[in-house]
Amino acid sequence: MFFTKECDYAIRIVRCLANQEMKTVRTICLDEHMPHPFAYKILKKLEHAKIVKSYRGSSGGYQLSRKVDELTLLDIVAAVDDHLYLNECLQGDYVCENNRDGNPCGVHAELNRVQKVLLTAMQEKTMAELI
């Protein structure tokens, strides 16, 4: 569902790295008040999405691989959570007993509209605008 704790932490990690400096996980966790194990997991996902790059070794750390004015809120959220649905009925394979003859109920239609609005707004909002 929308905005899990993992999504929140991912946004805060990008905020912490916004100045393009390399930072250690320890520094990120201290600056953004998050647990180390969770940060490692999220950083791995952000790295896989090519939002951050990692540097190994004793002087290693993490750095943004893209500029904050090129990163949207949706880029970050989608990197850590590929299930961006307001409600489970919006998932393509969900079978809802309230749908009749292949037609979604009025609640489904409205939630679908609201979800589209949210996704569009998240795609339009860059991290540079949020920082």
* Residue whose entry in the numeric block shows the structure tokens 């009749």: 100
| C-alpha to C-alpha distance for 93 and 96, rounded to whole angstroms | 10
Ordered domains of the chain (ranges, CATH): 5-130 (1.10.10.10)
The pLDDT tens digits along the chain (131 residues) read 567 889 899 999 999 999 989 999 999 999 999 999 999 999 999 999 999 999 988 888 999 999 999 999 999 988 998 777 666 555 566 566 666 666 666 676 777 788 888 888 889 989 998 88
Rounded to 5 degrees, φ, ψ at 54 are: -110, 150
The two tokens of residue 84 are 């961006």
69's CB contacts (< 8 A; 6+ apart) are 126, 127, 128
